[in-house]
Each structure stands twice: as C-alpha cells, then as structure tokens.
Amino acid sequence: MSTRLDIKVHHLTRVEGHGDIVVNMTDGVLEKARLEIVEAPRYFEAMLKGRSFLETAIITSRICGICSLGHQMTSFKATEQALGLEVSEQTLLLRKLLVHGATMQSNVLHALFLAAPDFLKVGSVFPLVASHPDVVKAALRMKRLANDIAEVVSGRAVHPISCVPGGFTALPTAAALRELKRRLEEQMVPDLAFAAETVAALAAEIPGFTRDTEYISLRSDDDYALYDGDICSSDEGRVPVAEYRRMTNEHVVSHSTSKHCRVNRSSYMVGALARWNNNHDRLCPAALEVAGKLGLAPGCNNPFLNTIAQIVESVHCALDSVAVIDELLTRGIRDEQPHQEPTRHGTGVGATEVPRGILYHEYTYDRKGLVVAANCVIPTGQNLANIDDDMRKLVPEVLDRPEPEIAHLLEMLVRAYDPCISCSVHMLDVKFVR
C-alpha cells in the first residue's frame, strides 16, 4: 500500500482560470485533497448596481447559458418580493412548466453524456455512441423536447424572452401546449424509462462510497419543491428563505477564488441528491418506482448517486409537466398583462432549485426601481467544500489502488456533482505530479 501520493489533475479553462484536483499524501498522512478552482471574478453583482428592475433578470440569466432559466426565475422572485409585485396563478403554472423543462434537460444530459460513460467505464460519450446509440439518441430527443418547452412557453430555448418581472409578455396557445403534452406523454416518458433501464443495468459500477453529509434544498407543503418553498436542511429542518445567509455562510478559502459554504458541519451538499433526501415523499409514484429499481433509498449519502437522483426526479418532472399543462388547459389561457407597478421598494430574496442545487438571488432596490445592492449564491459554489470533504474521506479508502485509478475516481466524484463552473470553459489536461 502506497504511503506517498501526489496527484494533480489539471483542468485548463479556455477563457481564463482553472480547476485542479490536487491530492498530496506523505508517509500515509493525507495532507491535501481538494478541488482548486481559480477563475477570474465576473462582477455580476457589481454590474447590477444602478440597473432597472426590468433588466436584472436579463443580466443575471447571462451568468450561464446552461442554467439561464433558473437564474431568471430566481431573479424574478427576488425582484417581485422586493417591489411587491404579485404574480398570477397562470404565471406560476407557466414558470413551473419552464422549471420542469430545464430540470429534465440538464439532468438527462448530465446523466447520459457525462456520468453514464463513467459507469460504463468508457472515456466519454463517444464510445457510448457506438455501444449504446439508442440511449444517445434518446438523450438528444429529450434535450430537443425540453428546448421546445422553453421555446413554446418563453419564446426561446436559451435565455428566455417573454418572461418578465410580474408575468409574461407573450403567452403560449392552447394548441401548442396540447402538442407539448402529447410529446411528453408519447416520447419523454418512454425515453426516460429507457434511460432509467440503461442506468439500472450499470448500477453495479457505481462506487459504493458514503459519507455522513448535511443536505440542503427547498421544501414545500404543496409539491416536490423546485420553483418555490422554504429552505430545508437535513440537519435542522425548515428555515425561511430570508435566512439564506445563515444557511450558506460564504467564506473565503486560500486555495480557491471561489468561496466555500458551511452551515451545521464543515460543508453541505445541494442538488438532486439533496432534493431526494429532503423531499422524496413529494415525488409521484412512478418516480419512486424508478428510485426503487435504481437502488436509491431515503437517507442516501453516496454522492455518486446524485446522478440516479437526477433521473428519478426527471421522471417526476415529465409527469408533473403533463399535470401542469392539464391545469393550464382546464383554466384556459388568459390574456394577462405582467404586474410591473411596484407597491413597495426594499430588499427581496428569491430561492429556487436549479438542476445543480439551490440558487439564491437577493436584491435591494431604491424608490426608482434601480438596484442598490445584489448578492447571488450559486449551487456549484455551495458544493465545493463538500467535494473537498468527500475527497478527504475517499482517498484513504482507496489508497491500495493504482494512482491513475485513484485520479479517475476523483474525477468521477467531481463529475457526479454535475458542476457548472460558470462560464469558465474548461479543457482537460491531465498531468501527474511526482
């Protein structure tokens, strides 16, 4: 068994900055096991100062082209709370549909393009195309349908257009919604079932690592909370969204330009697995059935099963999307105008679940509806400390394996979190430091 280990997996970014996995062990003592992220600050919070409340969501949605919709929704909620803007039931339903679409798309692409190749022990999705072409085609079909949900409801697949504070500037037709419903039932649901079967066959390949962890997500009385709810910690229960700063505690660390977060322990996890642990009782029966088949049980503390939780909740999202569309069609689409006359000015906090975890936006507006201060806490940032803690437990457990295998396992661990290291685009460059 090796008592000395020096691993550095170096991810170069295409724009600037980098993310490295670094492990140092001497004489059997683990000195360092962490994900070091260095990326240039992007100044979004500073950019928002002085901007109108009509612009905030447009700007913050550009934080990321993949998580764009989530940023918009969270931004609207913060603005609407700060300025006292009511939203209608129809707006809530349409936003829930959008959130379901974004969740399904992101989860499916992560599970099948990023994580599944790990379970299949192939280097990337490209060998998957040869060995499992039907799964890749299903993933692309699901992505397309999720894009179309965004296009029908919000006017565009990336960076929604018709969503504004207080409502929508354009509404989908009943016919378009009916067509989405048909495709969800006839295509998305079977495709998800197929994806779940494929992953179930690979379940034995998922590393059996566990670590006692605090899980933080939204929780709601009404539904499986994605768009709305209170903050919920597996350690302390429900907490009002207004207390989000206490539930994140962003602090600077020496080895990363990204801040780390902690609440009741040295770290916590957000994302699909956190949502599963806190809210499995709100999932529809079909999703629970898939969870059973995939070996996902309540109180799961294996971060590698985050991918499984993504598939399970996607099944729920597909079926709940149908239910939401049914409700919209029963009510009839009403030609409503967005409510954009502020009834107060002050501070508002929005919290939603984006695919990678709980996202917070807080804004303070002045009487003219201009931003005075802004704060955004991104899910991937909240997971960084947890990734470090996982690595610190995992490395000593696998010391007897060859170094390349340890490095690969650590990369798999990082991938399991579905990190979106904002838009510092990364190029993989693997080096072993001796």
Partner 1 sequence: MGNPFCGDDGVGAAVLERIRAEGLFPGAELIDAGTDALSLLDRFAETGAAERLHIIIDAAKMGCEPGRVVGFAPAEARRRIVWDRLSLHGLGLAEAFALAEGLGAMPRRVVVVGVEPTEVRMDRGLSDAVAAAVPEVIRLIRAEVRADEADHTGH
How many residues does the structure list for the chain? Answer: 434
Minimum CB separation of residue 206 from partner 1 in Å reads 17
Determine which residue in the list 201, 329, 373, 425 makes contact with partner 1, applying CB under 8 A. Answer: 425
Which residues, numbered 145-204, are part of the site for partner 1 (CB under 8 A)?
A: 147, 158
Say how far apart CA 244 and CA 250 lie, in whole Å: 10
Q: Are 59 and 47 in contact (CB under 8 A)?
A: yes
CB of 38 to partner 1, least distance (A): 15
Residue 264's CB: how many other CB atoms inside 10 A? 13
Closest CB 147 distance from partner 1, rounded Å: 7
Q: Is 113 in the site for partner 1 (CB under 8 A)?
A: yes
Half-sphere exposure of 354 (CA within 13 A, CB side): 27
Least gap, CB of 21 to partner 1 (angstroms) = 11
Report if residue 431 touches partner 1, rule: CB under 8 A: no
Q: For 303, which DSSP code?
A: G
58 belongs to the binding site for partner 1 (CB under 8 A) = no
Q: Which of 47, 58, 114, 189 binds partner 1 (CB under 8 A)?
A: 114
Instruction: Return phi, psi of residue 296, to 5°.
Output: -100, 120
Of 116 and 274, the one with the shorter C-beta distance to partner 1 is 116
State which of residues 30, 253, 323, 423 lies at the interface with partner 1 (CB under 8 A).
Answer: 423
CB of 64 to partner 1, least distance (A): 8
C-beta of 152 vs 420, nearer to partner 1: 420
Least distance from C-beta 105 to partner 1, angstroms? 10
Exposure string for 181-196, b = 16+ CB within 10 A, e = fewer: bebbeebbbebbbbbb
What is the rounded CA–CA span in Å between residue 22 and residue 252?
18
Residue 136 lies near partner 1 (rule: CB under 8 A): yes
Mark the segment that binds partner 1 (CB under 8 A) among 90-98, 118-126, 358-366, 394-402. Answer: 118-126
Query: What does the per-residue mask of binding to partner 1 show for 240-269, with x meaning CB under 8 A?
Result: ------------------------------
By beta-carbon proximity to partner 1, the closer residue of 39 and 320 is 39
Applying CB under 8 A, does 109 fall inside the site for partner 1?
yes
Q: Does 71 bind partner 1 (CB under 8 A)?
A: no
Q: 157: how many CB neighbours lie within 10 A of its CB?
A: 19
Site string for partner 1, 6-25 (x = CB under 8 A): -----x--xx---x------
Q: Which is nearer to partner 1, 18 or 262 (CB)?
A: 18
User: Any idea which residue has 């999720």 for tokens?
Assistant: 146
Q: Are 356 and 109 in contact (CB under 8 A)?
A: no
Burial group, residue 404, by CB count within 10 angstroms (0-12, 13-18, 19+): exposed
Kindly write down the DSSP assignment for every residue of 249-295, as one continuous string: --B--TT-SS-B--SSSS--B-SHHHHHHHHGGGS-HHHHHHHHHTT
Provide the terminal-to-terminal Cα distance of the chain, rounded to the nearest Å: 17
Alpha carbon separation from 40 to 16, 49, 422, 424, 430 (Å, rounded): 7, 20, 11, 8, 22
Per CB under 8 A, the segment of 122-130, 251-259, 262-270, 383-391 that binds partner 1 is 122-130
In the structure encoding, which two tokens stand for residue 209, read together?
């690592």
Q: Are strands 5-13 and 426-431 parallel, antiparallel or unpaired?
A: antiparallel
Tell me how far, at minimum, the Cβ of 144 lies from partner 1, in Å.
Answer: 5
Question: Least Å distance between CB 304 and partner 1?
Answer: 15
Residues in contact with partner 1, total (CB under 8 A)?
35
Q: Smallest distance from the beta carbon of 236 to partner 1, in angstroms?
A: 31
Contact assessment for residue 241 and residue 230, using Cβ atoms and an 8 Å cutoff = yes
Rule CB under 8 A: say whether 46 interacts with partner 1: no
Question: Can residue 29 be called a binding residue for partner 1 (CB under 8 A)?
Answer: no
Phi-psi region of 145 (alpha: psi -120 to 50; beta: other; left: phi over 0): alpha
Neighbours of 213 (CB within 10 A): 22
Does 140 contact partner 1 by CB under 8 A?
yes
Rule CB under 8 A: say whether 271 interacts with partner 1.
Answer: no
Unique residue bearing structure tokens 């999705």: 125
Q: Does position 418 bind partner 1 by CB under 8 A?
A: yes
The footprint of partner 1 (CB under 8 A) covers 11, 14-15, 19, 65-66, 109-110, 113-114, 117, 124-126, 129-130, 133, 136-137, 140, 143-144, 147, 158, 414-415, 418-421, 423, 425-428
